[in-house]
Structure 1
């Protein structure tokens, strides 16, 4: 075990890619201990990719890229602005709503931040919003991407922990709504204090017209969750259906998805999903070593010696994951911590769906934690804002998100109500 951990930490310290660190520490363990034949290492690595639900990852990524390339963003943003723009701070509220809807298309925080931020941040600045407030709000609202289904982190956690992906999708709905509502309340008070402007009230007919143009985006989560809950298709099959749906909508409804653009979309989706799949493959031997050396059992013994309370364990998990999420991307962090934390949570009687929501929400917040959050870098890239300035502005909405994290952590009903109601979880 010392060789295993030393190799993993050493490879990370020399800036090796996380994929190399995962595979390298497992190889070092196999060579040093003799408990793991090299053939087993290879079989375990490739076996990690044989899970059928993993096929949903490249398909959902492709569907999101097709919708984005098809021109959904302008109509989605216009609908959100017409619906909420007349309220004080309405542009900020519209940004949050647009991020929530786009989250149901892309399932990724960075994609949500870039797609919505390119349109809404300049609009907020033009209307008189402080540019750092606009950028910070967009960063935080983009965290809805991996929480509102379909969610790539939920798929990774579900495959790694052996939890139903459909139940995880349902479990993320209410926490996502709570996070969006909390950010809207925060934005309303900021806008009131700073006297940000509001748009004139829009005639109902215009809102209906805008809703019609945004209908394909609004219908996609209904298609996904409706199909899963009705038993028509599995989450993986739902991903395939959304690819076809996104292609048809982009080509025939918005008429902006052209055949000449398909190679670019396919290449981008292939590269994005390829990185995630390679990461999952390399995480399998890592998880095997963790299980063989009974690391979760050792940690259970240690934690229960401190306190047998599952609430204390969740408190420690939140602190640990926030620290882990600062330097590490969400996907690699999930595949590293899940084999350790999921068995401990199960031993303490914590619902696996609830645990998955807590893990994913924690790590998603790492994407906006200075100084290395990926969403921060993305928004700095599209706005030209200095990272230190955005880093200062992000703390207020970040603490709002931490409050939501605490609520989700200690009110498990938010994560388990819909899975129990609709899927008999």
Structure 2
């Protein structure tokens, strides 16, 4: 199969204008319009495709899960999560490093987002670790790395996006992320333990069962969020979109009525931030899906399938190629765009050409994509942490670099041991 030279020019031009500083969504939109014009498509098709790409009921889950995470942040639910995590694992060698990971694991069951985790827990965790004598780079690095659990443990905005564009069960994707989320936490905690022993880092004293019980009771309402959301979907009580609505309403109840930490001024700020973030993300989604549709017209998916199956006849090599592609491109492209463009092309190849389970390869893609959040120049988490801590982007990049080792180790394990991902979904019929 011969690749359309105009399609090659399209991809090349999009990369050039991105390097020149044009936002990725605008570059994809512009290059898509040029390609359609060169191939005598009426330009009204562009508008139709942009509108049609967002005409999916499930996309409503994205802003609702974002709203739930922001409400949890504004209602200071993170304070209670941190206190409980500290009482639970603060005495383990590595102390607040383990607290950092456990707090992120718990909060990921409410926010479903890397950025929400960094913004909500980041400042508190970094300050707490610095006050106890932990090295600044170490504190920043573990805070960023632990936020990687956010998109893996249900609910997850990235899982919703993948499920919609790749036509994979979102509930199945949520369930597929449970064990990998725990695996990521364990890999990070092993690394933290080893570093803490070598550097003789501070470890808090055991506070006793009364304190643990008290902090647990304070965090129980927050801990119930993933149980309500995922449990309701498994039992068929509500769909993923309805689950997002339940999560947002429950977050509003917790922050505003139960904990009484959410003021009307804070609520208006949260709603405005959600609206602006949603508008930006939906424009990115529409542009990426239009770009993907144009690539399909040019038969790039078919060319890619033939090429990959020729270059990588064995499944393990194909999986390694996917991991490398996401890790490399994640450093220069926005993560949502990368997932939206590549997932619909690579999933059919993995499923039909290599016999891989869609949930398995989906979870691997999502996590490989998320690791790109920590690599310059476009790792969004680095910019959020810069705003939180006031440190330079270069220092934050150096701080998180050692923690990429346990993250990549977890990625390799879930990629080559499929049962880590698919055991739970399969047991529950997905």
Q: Does 1:236 align with 2:231?
A: no
Q: Provide, for residues 293-341 of structure 1, a one-character-per-residue CA deviation record: whole Å limited to 9, x for no partner.
A: 2212212211222231121111111111101111222111111212321
Q: Secondary structure at the match of 2:149?
A: coil
Closer/same/farther in 2, CA of residues 418 and 325 from structure 1, 3 Å limit: same
Q: Does 1:173 align with 2:178?
A: yes
Identify which of 135, 138, 142 aligns with 1:137.
Answer: 142
Closer/same/farther in 2, CA of residues 9 and 104 from structure 1, 3 Å limit: same
Give the Å deviation of 1:371. Answer: 4.7
Give the Å deviation of 1:141. Answer: 0.4
**Paired positions, count:** 423
Q: Does 1:94 align with 2:99?
A: yes
- Aligned residue in 1 for 2:395: 389
Q: 1:168 touches 1:353 (CA, 8 Å); kept in 2?
A: yes
- Aligned residue in 1 for 2:271: 266
* C-alpha distance in structure 1 between counterparts of 2:164 and 2:242, whole Å: 15
Give the Å deviation of 1:118. Answer: 1.0
Q: Provide, for residues 94-149 of structure 1, a one-character-per-residue CA deviation record: whole Å limited to 9, x for no partner.
A: 00011111111111112211221211111111112111111100010011111111
Q: Provide, for residues 232-270 of structure 1, a one-character-per-residue CA deviation record: whole Å limited to 9, x for no partner.
A: 001100000111111111112110112232221110011
* C-alpha distance in structure 1 between counterparts of 2:50 and 2:137, whole Å: 44
Identify which of 19, 25, 31 aligns with 1:25.
Answer: 31
* C-alpha distance in structure 2 between counterparts of 1:372 and 1:260, whole Å: 32
Q: Secondary structure at the match of 1:163?
A: coil
Give the Å deviation of 1:388. Answer: 2.9
- Aligned residue in 2 for 1:364: 370
* C-alpha distance in structure 2 between counterparts of 1:45 and 1:18, whole Å: 16
Q: 1:136 touches 1:390 (CA, 8 Å); kept in 2?
A: yes
Q: Provide, for residues 154-208 of structure 1, a one-character-per-residue CA deviation record: whole Å limited to 9, x for no partner.
A: 1111111111111111111111110001101111111111111211111211111
- Aligned residue in 1 for 2:385: 379
Give the Å deviation of 1:76. Answer: 0.9
Give the Å deviation of 1:29. Answer: 1.1
* C-alpha distance in structure 1 between counterparts of 2:13 and 2:398, whole Å: 36
Q: 1:104 touches 1:145 (CA, 8 Å); kept in 2?
A: yes
Identify which of 70, 75, 78 aligns with 2:83.
Answer: 78
Q: Provide, for residues 38-65 of structure 1, a one-character-per-residue CA deviation record: whole Å limited to 9, x for no partner.
A: 2322211101111111000011111111
Identify which of 288, 310, 314 aligns with 1:309.
Answer: 314
Identify which of 317, 321, 325 aligns with 2:326.
Answer: 321
Give the TM-score normalised by the residue count of structure 1: 0.96
Identify which of 156, 163, 171 aligns with 1:158.
Answer: 163
Structure 1 consecutive aligned stretches of length 4 or more whose deviation exceeds 4 Å: none
- Aligned residue in 1 for 2:359: 353
What is the root-mean-square deviation of aligned Cα atoms in Å? 1.5
* C-alpha distance in structure 1 between counterparts of 2:195 and 2:298, whole Å: 51
**Structure 1 unaligned runs (5+)?**
none
Identify which of 329, 336, 359 aligns with 2:341.
Answer: 336
* C-alpha distance in structure 1 between counterparts of 2:124 and 2:173, whole Å: 31
* C-alpha distance in structure 2 between counterparts of 1:282 and 1:194, whole Å: 48
* C-alpha distance in structure 2 between counterparts of 1:98 and 1:118, whole Å: 13
- Aligned residue in 2 for 1:254: 259
Q: Does 1:187 align with 2:205?
A: no
Q: Does 1:64 align with 2:72?
A: no
Moved more, 8-17 or 98-107: 8-17
Q: 2:289 touches 2:341 (CA, 8 Å); kept in 1?
A: no
* C-alpha distance in structure 2 between counterparts of 1:169 and 1:71, whole Å: 25
Identify which of 209, 213, 216 aligns with 2:214.
Answer: 209
Q: Secondary structure at the match of 2:153?
A: coil
Q: Does 1:128 align with 2:148?
A: no
Give the TM-score normalised by the residue count of structure 2: 0.95
* C-alpha distance in structure 1 between counterparts of 2:44 and 2:395, whole Å: 51
**Structure 2 unaligned runs (5+)?**
1-6
- Aligned residue in 1 for 2:406: 400
* C-alpha distance in structure 1 between counterparts of 2:75 and 2:326, whole Å: 36
Give the Å deviation of 1:366. Answer: 0.9
Q: 1:58 touches 1:273 (CA, 8 Å); kept in 2?
A: yes
Q: Does 1:10 align with 2:16?
A: yes
- The within-5 A match list for 1:110-129 is 110-129=115-134
Give the Å deviation of 1:8. Answer: 1.9
Q: 2:330 touches 2:371 (CA, 8 Å); kept in 1?
A: yes
- Aligned residue in 1 for 2:294: 289
Q: Secondary structure at the match of 2:256?
A: helix
Give the Å deviation of 1:11. Answer: 2.6
